[in-house]
Amino acid sequence: MSRFPPVPVTVLPRVQDRMTFLYLEHCVVHREDGALTARDEKGIVRVPAASLLAVLLGPGTSISHQAMSLLGECGTTAIWVGEHGVRYYAHGRSLASSTRLLVEQAARVSSPQKRLRVARQMYCMRFKNEDVSGLTMQQLRGREGARIRTVYRENSKRTGVSWGRRDYRPDDFEASDSINKTLSAAHAALYGVIHAVIVALGCSPGLGFVHTGHERSFVYDIADLYKAETTIPIAFDVVTEEMEDLTGTTRRRVRDKVFELKIIEHAVHDIHTLLGADETEDLDINVVSLWDYQHQQVAGGSNYEFSIEGFEDGDPPW
């Protein structure tokens, strides 16, 4: 039995009020009361777990059962990542007790008409003051491709960093040039933040609207809304400054920019908007209901003895 009492849900910060992420590597992570401790040869650092959105655990990290228990109680997403933080392996639990957003996400992904509407909404968020309501998915992809190429060219011209094309090699990080390394590191950090927001809200990272077929399709959907103002300019700036620690500097810059631009708050708002949900509705109410084909749901915790009464045509639906 744990010697630490559970953290009361009522005192936990909302996901939009939390700090971005903490990246750890080559250290031992443990728990001290309500804080995480990270220990290496330089000493011990204490971090309030409930204030974090995500903890990225890199190579050489050893984490205790008590530390994981604390992260679970706080609804802080633990993400196991590879070297430089650019490879994803696993993640932790949700902060939400309700599946309302997940059900709405699944309903909209499953309907081609609803899915197209959501995809158009996503592109509207990128193409300011443009009407894309009549565009097909093929036309939207073409418009987005042209937009992102322009963003790369503008940042290349602004910084003087040579740009050819995006060249990301998951199995050989060092094979890429400096700008592609920093872009990979920057995007990975942003993906970690967005992944944590999605999981914290109780949505599925795999049910994407534009991206599909991958376990993090929805993560890529939402992250793409913010790359042009966060990760891409940061990557070009870091290369221009010829920083010795490219990936570490990039992660810290992304962390600061996410905080500066309130990306977490925007992501929470945008996900609710895309799924047609009210942000003010409480997602933390821990209520288990039973599905009903006529009334959608009925109260759980009750014994419903079978009765033929209640069927309009006198026959059960099966």
Say yes or no: 127 and 75 in one domain.
no
pTM for the whole structure: 0.70
Mean pLDDT by 10 residues, the chain (318 residues): 55 73 89 87 87 85 89 81 70 70 94 93 84 87 90 95 82 78 92 88 92 92 95 95 86 92 93 86 56 63 56 52
Judge if 223 and 78 occupy the same domain.
Answer: no
pLDDT, tens only, 142-188: 988 999 999 999 999 999 999 988 877 766 667 678 899 999 999 98
Q: Distances from the Cα of 184 to the Cαs of 46, 84, 167, 170, 292, in angstroms?
A: 29, 9, 9, 9, 46
User: Could you tell me if 40 and 111 lie in one domain?
Assistant: no
pLDDT for the residue numbered 20: 77
Asked if residue 144 and residue 212 are part of one domain, the reply reads yes
Domains in the chain, number = 2
Q: Is residue 302 part of a domain?
A: no
Interatomic CA distance for residues 273 and 290, integer angstroms: 27
Spatial CA neighbour of 54 closest among 230, 260, 195? 195
83-108 burial, b if ≥16 CB within 10 A, otherwise e?
ebbbbbeebbbbbbebebbbebbeeb
Distance CA 259, CA 114 (A): 32
Q: Which residues span the domain enclosing 69?
A: 9-90
Would 280 be classed as within a structural domain?
no
Q: Which residue, 90, 118, 145, sits at the end of a domain?
A: 90
CATH number at residue 23: 3.100.10.20
What's the CA gap between 86 and 71, in Å, rounded?
A: 22
Give the pLDDT confidence of 102-153 residue by residue, as tens digits.
999 999 999 999 999 999 999 988 877 788 888 888 999 898 899 999 999 9
48 shares a domain with 104: no
